């Protein structure tokens, strides 16, 4: 399957035809914005995300829940909500920055000569949330964890649609991020906020979204933007906007929503 999937993904990237998919279910969580009504209000600009708070993550066994950091807890909360009792559904976990807070703590300890915790190191890798989710559910479904800069969500959708093109009926997409540690503040290019959301993707039906792309003749703006890509795309979906265009580097992405 690996070779066929790699070929399918390459064909998607080079065809220029874009990808299409339907969202069978949605879950989202952020401090102060937890319910579906909250998220619709947020998308319309009526409420703002908070900085304090943590998901309960009651679906996960306590022993594993205690291992998860704040970022992973957000990702796991929406993954549980979105997937429900389904099993053997392939998963794509997408975070631009990943467990950067835990990684910086490890590096600081290393610089001070403090022995590193194997557990903390294992939970700092990019697929930590996916691993905890699989272990907790005893689910051996394939999972991918990726980052792609400002285009992280777009590449994750292409990855998920590659699985659909290969014959999978459903794919779980989990998108999550939080503010960078202070040591990286000078590298931020957007107003980072903590959030997580998940889509259960299926092949396109009567209502579907499409993602198309083309080369941009000029580099996208490097000025600070208001929202991380994940929140920008979620707002587009929740408001049922007809289109959203994002320029990241030399790539221009066009999201569209179609309701028949």
Q: 254: pLDDT confidence band, cut at 50, 70 and 90? A: very high
Mean pLDDT within 66-84:
95
Which percentage of the chain shows pLDDT scores above 90? Answer: 71
Q: What is the pLDDT of residue 1?
A: 46
d(CA 230, CA 75) in angstroms, rounded, equals 13
Mean pLDDT, all residues of the chain: 90
Question: Residue 232 maps to which CATH number?
Answer: 3.40.47.10
What is the tally of structural domains in the chain?
1
Domain span holding position 118: 2-259
**Looking at 147-161, 183-197, 214-228, 233-247, which range is the least confident one?**
214-228
Closest CA to 158 of 5, 3, 1: 5
d(CA 242, CA 246) in angstroms, rounded, equals 14
Which percentage of the chain shows pLDDT scores above 70? Answer: 91
E strands in the chain: 19-29, 91-94, 143-146, 171-177, 195-202, 207-215, 243-248, 251-259
Q: Quick count: other Cβ atoms within 10 Å of Cβ 32?
A: 14
Q: 220: pLDDT confidence band, cut at 50, 70 and 90? A: low
Q: 253: pLDDT confidence band, cut at 50, 70 and 90? A: very high
Summarised one tens digit per residue, pLDDT across range 24-65 is 999 999 999 999 999 999 999 999 999 889 999 999 999 999
Task: Please tell me whether the overall predicted TM-score, pTM, comes out greater than 0.85 for this model.
Answer: yes
What CA–CA distances, in Å, run from 155 to 22, 37, 140, 218?
17, 28, 23, 20
């Amino acid at each position: 399957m690996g070779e066929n999937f790699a070929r399918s993904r390459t064909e998607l990237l080079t065809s220029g035809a874009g990808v299409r998919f339907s969202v069978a279910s949605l879950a989202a969580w952020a401090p102060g914005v937890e319910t579906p009504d909250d998220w619709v209000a947020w998308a319309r600009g009526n409420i703002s995300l908070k900085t304090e708070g943590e998901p309960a993550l009651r679906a996960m066994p306590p022993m594993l829940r205690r291992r998860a950091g704040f970022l992973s807890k957000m990702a796991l909360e929406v993954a549980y909500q979105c997937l429900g009792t389904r099993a053997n559904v392939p998963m794509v976990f997408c975070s631009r920055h990943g467990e950067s807070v835990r990684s910086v703590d490890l590096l600081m300890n290393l610089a001070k000569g403090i022995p590193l915790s194997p557990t903390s190191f294992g939970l700092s890798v990019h697929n930590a949330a996916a691993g905890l989710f699989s272990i907790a559910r005893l689910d051996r479904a394939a999972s991918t964890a990726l980052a792609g800069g400002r285009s992280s969500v777009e590449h994750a959708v292409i990855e998920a649609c590659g699985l659909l093109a290969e014959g999978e009926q459903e794919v779980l997409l989990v998108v999550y991020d939080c503010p960078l540690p202070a040591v990286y503040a000078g590298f931020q290019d957007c107003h980072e906020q903590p959030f997580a959301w998940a889509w259960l993707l299926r092949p396109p039906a009567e209502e579907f979204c499409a993602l198309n792309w083309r080369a941009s003749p000029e580099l996208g703006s490097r000025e600070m933007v208001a929202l991380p890509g994940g929140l920008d795309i979620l707002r587009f979906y929740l408001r049922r906007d007809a289109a959203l265009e994002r320029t990241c580097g030399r790539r221009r992405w066009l999201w569209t929503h179609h309701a028949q």
